[in-house]
A and B are shown apart, each in its own frame.
Chain A
Amino acid sequence: MRFEIEGNPDYGEVNIELGPGEELLAEPGAMSRMSSNMEAKSKRLGSFFGALIRKMFGGESFFVGRFTHPDGGSVTIAPRLPGTVTHRQMNGDSVFLTAGAFLACTPGLTVKAKFGGLRALFSGEGAFLVEVFGTGDLFYNAYGGVVEQTVAGKFTVDTGHLVAFEPSLQYTIGGMGNLKSTFLSGEGLVIKFQGNGKVWVQTRTLDGLAGWLTPRL
């Protein structure tokens, strides 16, 4: 498989050349264009994601797009929200992503739902985490720009702004402090990291866009 990320940092998209029989798994709707010979079939993610995801999505099975062709072909994938797309080569290691950040991967990787705790459920997509592990290529996206933070100690991130982080970090999800601050500060939930490792954050959130637009409707 060969790939090229174009359009970063504002409008990242990935052009992928698949060899004969090679497969790419991508989030639904990610395909923007492909060579006409490519097969695009849906694949039920029963074994791919844990049972937790089916519950989250109201009991419906979760689909992922599977791209492949016996002769090979090309496919371009783009995330739902515009911003920076990142490639990560996985070599038997693991990384945590927020569910909305997952874009695509090769079949050697497993994606498992990871709960941030009950409180994570109420903050929406941003706190819903997946763990990706195995060997292969992972593509993930940010809404807006992505910034890498090296944590050595403690660090706080608004859950909507979280993209990914290394498993060496411990984390808790909670409010901003006292009750008043949590519900009235408008910040919603935050994720507090502790330890040593990298965190990737994004400069825009879908909730932020909805909040900004609401008074203007």
Chain B
Amino acid sequence: MRHRLICGPGYAAAEIELSLGEELVAEAGAMAWMDDSIAVRTQARGGILKGLGRMITGESFFQNTYYAEGTPGKIALAPGVPGDIVPYEMRDETLIMERGAYLGHSGDIETSVSFEGFTGIFAEGLLALQVKGTGLLFFNSYGDIQEVAVDGSYTVDSGYAVAWQSSLDYSIGRTGRSIGTFLFGDQLVSRYQGRGKLWVQTRSPRTLASWVHPFRRVKSDNQ
């Protein structure tokens, strides 16, 4: 499957060429533009929702499968947030990533939110996704993406971890002192031990969510 990244690393999009018989699975809403010969199938994410106990507001529960009909064609995928895209060749391996980092894939890859070692959440407001198998995976970052080859231990503020190989041991800790009920500065950090690849992004969805707070409309009493 031919693909290329454009407009990176700040506003990366992935342009993928689909030949007849090739299929691309993508996050709902990720399609930015495509040739007319590309058709789509929408289906519920049964596999992903398995085990998920609650609805997450605003999440789409559907995945789209794109394929070429008649003639080959191209399709561009774009994430919602400014940043980069990593096209990663998976070779019978498992990655764990922040839910919002998943963009699309092709090949024999399975994604699920419920798996051993995780209740689904790895930091406040951040859900973990397990991606397993062989094929081509596209994931994106908020900000630049840096690949860290962990050999020993490494600490990252939880909001900045994008994806990591499951060979790494993972634990959550807190830094700083809590002053009474004041928790803001008490950062949630992710600690990685062992050997494996860790992708780190230079911006955090959590801080963006906090920042935008005053700009949101306030619920009126009769809503």
- Which of A's residues lie within 8 Å of B, judged by CB? 9-10, 82-83, 143-145, 147, 149, 153-158, 161, 176-177, 180-181, 184-188, 192, 201, 203-205, 208-217
Contact = CB atoms under 8 A, between A and B. Distances in A.
A203 B181 CA distance: 42
A161 B38 CA distance: 17
A212 B12 CA distance: 15
A217 B76 CA distance: 28
Nearest to B142: A212
B218 interface: no
Interface in B65-106: 76, 78-82, 99-100
A156 B34 contact: yes
B33 A144 contact: no
Given A184-B42, A215-B56, A216-B125, 13 more contacts: A145-B7, A155-B35, A177-B39, A185-B28, A185-B62, A201-B76, A204-B80, A205-B80, A208-B81, A214-B57, A215-B58, A217-B209, A217-B216
Contacts of B60: 184, 186, 211
Contacts of A176: 40, 42
A211 B38 CA distance: 24
B62 A208 contact: no
Interface in B19-51: 27-29, 31-36, 38-40, 42
Contact of A187 (B28, B82, B205, B212): B28
A154 B36 contact: yes
B179 interface: no
B122 to A, nearest CB: 13
A161 B32 contact: yes
A156 B35 contact: yes
Report the 4 A-B pairs with minimum CB-CB distance, sorted nearest first. A145-B7, A186-B28, A212-B80, A144-B11
B13 A203 contact: yes
A203 to B, nearest CB: 4
16 contacts: A145-B6, A153-B36, A154-B35, A155-B35, A156-B34, A184-B42, A184-B60, A186-B29, A186-B62, A187-B31, A188-B29, A203-B78, A208-B81, A212-B80, A213-B80, A215-B125
